Chains A and B, each alone.
Chain A
């Protein structure tokens, strides 16, 4: 397979890989590196790419594994402390700012979720995969996915409600 052919295969889902990596690794730079690394790995396997029935699902699984490995390694642990993509908001009472703040808050809540729930939420709500595809990517049963997804969504709802009733986190 030539590079251009490979790029045609990879282009439609490279953003999905990146978003998944960013969901797990939080930092933008780390996620970019991870995406690059996964695509390089995929490229090095390009002889056998035709034999995978679903390259996209395979790439997503690779990304998931790569990121979880990164998180386990000490190196990533150090980086995690350095990077924080949150923005501190002042005490502006503008409603628009408040709405934006709430959206950032959702991101914080998702970051605190267990990794599996993060993965499921990302794959379902952001990437809109159905349960069978997610099952293939994460090697999970559909019922387990449903439970994880439901828990993740409910946790976000509860924490958001808390924030709204207390005003601040």
Chain B
């Protein structure tokens, strides 16, 4: 390409009125070795762009549904917590009731046992009379 044609294209390029094809022409011109000396100053612009096209995204694409999992994990955690509080409360209530019942049963048993004890005491006293009877009987036998 002649340098005067390049100059015209450059003028259009800086006015942003070049077409994509014309811009490609400019890039090809500036990527070659023999660039007219007075145009050399523009070369880095076009070389830079040519280099910039070469950049690639090299990282592996990962489409793990990680994010979704986390979302559902929180839902599950909340559900578990709610169930825990609901049924946990129930459980604690049941425990308390059981304990109360146990205390009540203990008191009742104690009452019953003390009743038994007093009655037994009375019984023992009565048995003491029997002993008296036995002694009297022995005395009678001894007199004979």
Residues of A within 8 A of B (CB): 3, 6-7, 10, 14-15, 17-19, 22, 32, 35-36, 39-40, 43-44, 99, 102-103, 105-107, 110, 124-126, 128, 130, 145-147, 149-150, 153-154, 156-157, 160-161, 164
Contacts and interface: CB of A to CB of B under 8 A. Distances in A.
Contact of A125 (B43, B44, B49, B56): B49
A40 B63 contact: yes
Interface residues of B, number: 27
Question: What's the dominant secondary structure at chain B's contact region?
Answer: helix
Contacts of A105: 44
Contacts of B16: 145-147, 149-150, 153
B95 interface: no
B61 A7 contact: yes
B102 to A, nearest CB: 57
B41 interface: yes
List the 10 closest A-B pairs by CB distance, nearest first.
A18-B57, A102-B44, A150-B16, A106-B48, A149-B16, A146-B16, A103-B48, A125-B49, A126-B52, A32-B59
A128 B23 contact: yes
Given A105-B44, A130-B20, A146-B17, A14 B57 contact: yes
Interface in B39-74: 41-45, 47-49, 51-53, 55-57, 59, 61-63, 67
